[in-house]
Amino acid sequence: MIDIKFLRENPEAVKENIKKKFQNSKLELVDKVIELDAESRAAKQQADELRSNRNKISKQIGTLMAQGKKEEGMALKEEVTKQARQLAELEEKESRLSEEVTKIMMQIPQIIDPAVPIGKDDSMNVEIERFGEPVVPDFEIPYHTDIMEKLNGIDLDSARKVAGNGFYYLMGDVARLHSAVISYARDFMIDRGFTYCVPPFMIRSNVVTGVMSFAEMDSMMYKIEGEDLYLIGTSEHSMIGRFIDTINKEEALPYTLTSYSPCFRKEKGAHGIEERGVYRIHQFEKQEMIVVCKPEDSKMWFDKLWQNTVDLFRSLDIPVRTLECCSGDLADLKVRSLDVEAWSPRQKKYFEVGSCSNLGDAQARRLKIRVSGEGGKKYFAHTLNNTVVAPPRMLIAFFENNLNEDGSVRIPEALRPYMGGKEVIK
């Protein structure tokens, strides 16, 4: 959420940012906010004047009563009662207008970083760098679920009967590999100085609206009926929520955390060729990383976070590339985002396996995550998040890039300790 003071002083800059994100329907919101904010501040000023005047009159009443001027004192008491009613009306108006301003402000996108390329959708994302040589073997690579089925590692038919489409049973060595990847990713991040955490898998609505836009909330989150609770779509939600309404000592920053959680997503409106199998699913597990830091450090941490994902995938012999997300592909709270994509030998193209995001002070402003700096000065922290690894989608890249011609799958050396020393899955 943008600073209201910045919007007041730079309305045209905010409008230009909205245009860069191709959300012209939101342009009118800027003028609406300015109008309502002016009314709210005027009501507050009137209320402050009434409070000040009431205090003066109260002192006068005390003086008059002490002097025995009861009649004059009672007249002033009536004036105080009248002003109390006016004050209550102004306070109600101020509160109502303030709520309206906040609601509209939460719909206005965050100011994007100058490095973000301008484009309408993900087709305009820009490739930055490739890591590892993408290889297409001489033999045909089957669809990922076919590979898993031949290894007796997945049961989609039973899952459909039990839970419907978008769910799966992982079995045997494939299930073990799934857990091995998560455990390896956990230790990988701990070795890089991150603190391991297992967070709540449900969060309240005030945390949901603090970490994401209304549009994202509608398309992703599952609501627990009859309770103010939502299933998390990623552990970032509850991890950032951990700092809600806190004042953190500047010297304690940054907080660098890596978290495990199951994730639940409606995947509303998601359609495409690769939906079959385990590419787009309603339930999966994930290792995440988040950082809460000083504003001047967020750019540095952004680069460190995506590099962690690249390094992890390369340690498993999977070629990857990085893409800078264009303006139209950024969620409203994001300042900047970079996708990590893994090579698919079957499709002969890259596909997304992780997303690194710098949210500036957007989440911190919504959740009141503040920092106490030099001289006790308070300011909002910056928050960042990135996927370490998210199987089973990551397993698609793993199986395709480590498949042998005979249908067996090679286990990279880094994963063998987590697979009981196995070098191959047959």
**Contact of 186 with 389, CB cutoff 8 Å:** no
With b meaning 16 or more CB within 10 Å and e meaning fewer, what string describes 390-410? bbbbbbbbbbbbbbeeeeebe
User: Is residue 228 within 8 Å of residue 271, measured between CB atoms?
Assistant: no
Q: What is the total residue count of the chain?
A: 426
Q: Which of 352, 372, 410, 416 is catalytic?
A: 352
Q: How far apart are CA 29 and CA 71, in angstroms?
A: 53
Q: Beta-carbon neighbour count of residue 42 at 10 Å? A: 14
Which is nearest to 250 in space by CA: 364, 359, 381, 383?
381
Structure tokens at 192: 């890089």
Q: Are 169 and 353 in contact (CB under 8 A)?
A: no
Note whether 250 and 373 are within 8 A (CB).
yes
Q: Which of 321, 336, 366, 393 is catalytic?
A: 393
Based on its alpha-carbon atoms, the radius of gyration of the chain, rounded to whole angstroms, reads: 28
Whether 265 is catalytic: yes
**Backbone dihedral region of 267: left (phi > 0), alpha (psi from -120 to 50 degrees) or beta?**
left
How many CB atoms neighbour CB 165 within 10 A?
Answer: 12
Catalytic residue of the set 54, 96, 280, 416:
280
Task: Please state the φ and ψ torsions of residue 280, each to the nearest 5 degrees.
Answer: -115, 110
- Is 280 a residue of the active site? yes
From 242, 265, 321, 346, active-site residue: 265
Pick from 201, 379, 386, 252: nearest CA to 308: 386
Beta carbons of 370 and 383 less than 8 angstroms apart:
no
Q: Look up residue 205 and give its two tokens.
A: 């609505």
Taking the C-alpha atoms of residue 385 and residue 344, their distance in angstroms, rounded to an integer, is 25
Two tokens, residue 331: 């969620």
Return d(Cα 264, Cα 21) in angstroms, integer.
28
Catalytic choice (40, 98, 259, 355): 355
Measure the CA dihedral 235/233/329/275, to 10°. 130
Please, is 387 exposed, middle or buried when counting C-beta atoms within 10 Å of its C-beta (0-12, 13-18, 19+)?
Answer: buried
> Are 263 and 223 spatial neighbours (Cβ–Cβ below 8 Å)?
no
Residues marked as catalytic: 265, 280, 352, 355, 393
